[in-house]
Amino acid sequence: MPENRLKRRHFVTASLLALLAGASAQAAPAAKKAAKPTRKTPRPTAKKPPRAAPAAAKPEKAPTDAPRNAISLPDEPLPQWRHYELRATITLKETNGRTRLWLPLVQYRDTSWERSFGHRWQGNHAMAGIYRDPVADMEVFYADWPEGVAEPKLEIVSQFATQDRHFDITRRGVIAERTEILRRCLQATELVPTDGIVRLTAERAIGRIKDPLAQAKAIYDWVVENTRYDPQPRSSGHTHIAALLESGHLTGRSVEISLLFVGLCRSIGIPARPVFGLRMDRSRLFACLGASGELNSSRHCRAEFYSPGYGWVPVNPSDVRQAILDESLGHYDPKLGVLKKLLFGFWEMNWIGFNAAQDVVLQGTTGSTLPYLINPVVETPEGRFDDPASGYYSYSVSAQRSGTDSSSGQDFS
């Protein structure tokens, strides 16, 4: 794959160039000072060095003339963390019997783009707590109300920080992912088969490309070119990607588009996974790619794939399709070209990830496996419900910046 298609993003490049310019400016005086002591005057009786001294400093040009190694570029600016409080309020319908609730939480494993600082909650539940699912690698809040509670209610506040996530093709040597995780990210799931039409589609998309990173880019381009964003909300769950491909109508929201990318990658041996989460702030790219105010309809799915030497690479094909629709971007619009390149290897972190779990089994449930966990799930004697439209619960979510944004991420209050 041509390297210029995966160069550092525009704003990162600009900052690197500024740093290079600053580094060169600082290096020049230092080189002059270092050159003076080593210069030998041919006549010891001379009181002053000859006027031609600047010519002796000519060797200091060597560092700028020598080819630069991208790996040895100056460090990037210190990361800038943005701190948030996410407040969710859930009110349940009174039922004749026990009521249980499960709620996905912010990913508990800190990364270079997302950090969790904990949770606090209050309500009239009889029992509540948090459990971690080591297989699904997610954290889930649960609560339990006995029969007879007039208005079961819960408020939970999560504190976390985010910063934009970048992929840099010039940097290799990432520690390899655990084998069991990679194996899991190659498996077929309820909604994501890896054979039949899924594999055939992936093979057509990559053609004769052999490099895994280039193959993933070809699949990303195919998904962006062939899908359509559907603005109409759907109930969670439940578009089988093989059925989607067989229908010929590749329309959907972020979940369907991201799962399609994941399935195509897995079918040709590239580990990939969806990441389910929530938009919770405005976007600097396009207004349609952000959220503010009430966030209960801002659930959003992204994806990532694994490339040996580089680790997990973020992608966001659904945001490209949404921008095409909402911003009326034409095929030859230069903004579209920039966005397509940017969102292969970049996540704008006005969004918070919850988990990458698929085929989820909730702890203590009597129900069946869930395709994934992105909404609150309520279980009553009448059944199990994971959509506020069911009428069994109301769900309100809001986020606000809190504390002092910083380069260290440690001064959150």
Residue type, 321: R
Half-sphere exposure at residue 346, Cβ-oriented, CA atoms within 13 angstroms: 18
Using pLDDT thresholds of 50, 70 and 90, give the confidence band for residue 77.
low
Output phi, psi for 76, to 5 deg: -75, 165
Domains of the chain in start order, with CATH, are 82-161+373-401 (2.60.40.2250), 166-348 (3.10.620.30)
* Range 392-406 average pLDDT: 85
231 compared with 243, residue with greater pLDDT: 243
301 compared with 239, residue with greater pLDDT: 301
Half-sphere exposure at residue 132, Cβ-oriented, CA atoms within 13 angstroms: 6
* Range 15-42 average pLDDT: 42
Look at residues 93, 15, 77, 145 and name the one whose alpha carbon lies nearest to residue 407. Answer: 77
**Residue 290: how many other CB atoms lie within 10 Å:** 17
Tell me the percentage of the chain whose pLDDT exceeds 90.
66
Look at residues 189, 94, 92, 103 and name the one whose alpha carbon lies nearest to residue 139. Answer: 103
Look at residues 81, 134, 129 and name the one whose alpha carbon lies nearest to residue 352. Answer: 81
> Could you tell me how many residues make up the chain?
413
* Residues 336/324, Cβ–Cβ less than 8 Å: yes
pLDDT at 237: 47
pLDDT in tens, 150-194: 899 999 999 999 999 999 888 887 889 999 999 999 999 999 999
pLDDT in tens, 310-364: 999 999 999 999 999 999 999 899 999 999 999 999 999 999 999 999 999 999 9
Q: What is the rounded distance in angstroms from the CA atom of residue 322 to the CA atom of residue 329?
A: 10
Token pair in block for residue 323:
């921008």
**Is residue 25's pLDDT more than 60?**
no
User: What is the distance of C-alpha 90 from the center of its chain?
Assistant: 26
Question: Hey, is 304 helix, strand or coil?
Answer: strand
Q: What is the DSSP string of 215-265?
A: HHHHHHHHHHHH-EE--S---TT---HHHHHHHT--EE-HHHHHHHHHHHH
Using pLDDT thresholds of 50, 70 and 90, give the confidence band for residue 72.
very low
Burial class (CB in 10 A: 0-12, 13-18, 19+), 281: buried
Contacts with 400 (C-beta within 8 Å, 6 or more apart), sequence order = 84, 85, 87
* Residues 411/401, Cβ–Cβ less than 8 Å: no
**Is residue 19's pLDDT more than 50?**
no
233 compared with 266, residue with greater pLDDT: 266
Token pair in block for residue 135:
């297989």
pTM for this entry: 0.80
Token pair in block for residue 6:
């995966």
Using pLDDT thresholds of 50, 70 and 90, give the confidence band for residue 78.
low
Cα dist. 343→107, 139, 142, 285, 356 in Å? 21, 27, 34, 11, 19
* Range 221-229 average pLDDT: 97
Q: What is the rounded distance in angstroms from the CA atom of residue 253 to the CA atom of residue 238?
A: 11
368 compared with 89, residue with greater pLDDT: 89
Cα dist. 355→81, 127, 302, 379, 392 in Å? 20, 24, 11, 21, 24
> Average pLDDT, whole number, for the chain?
83
Q: What is the rounded distance in angstroms from the CA atom of residue 107 to the CA atom of residue 116?
A: 7
Q: What is the rounded distance in angstroms from the CA atom of residue 108 to the CA atom of residue 115?
A: 7
Q: Where are the beta strands (DSSP E) in 147-239?
A: 153-162, 165-166, 228-229
Out of 16-25, 209-218, 383-392, least confident range: 16-25
Which value, to the nearest 10 degrees, does the dihedral of the CA atoms of residues 265, 185, 277, 412 take?
A: -120
* Residues 358/192, Cβ–Cβ less than 8 Å: yes
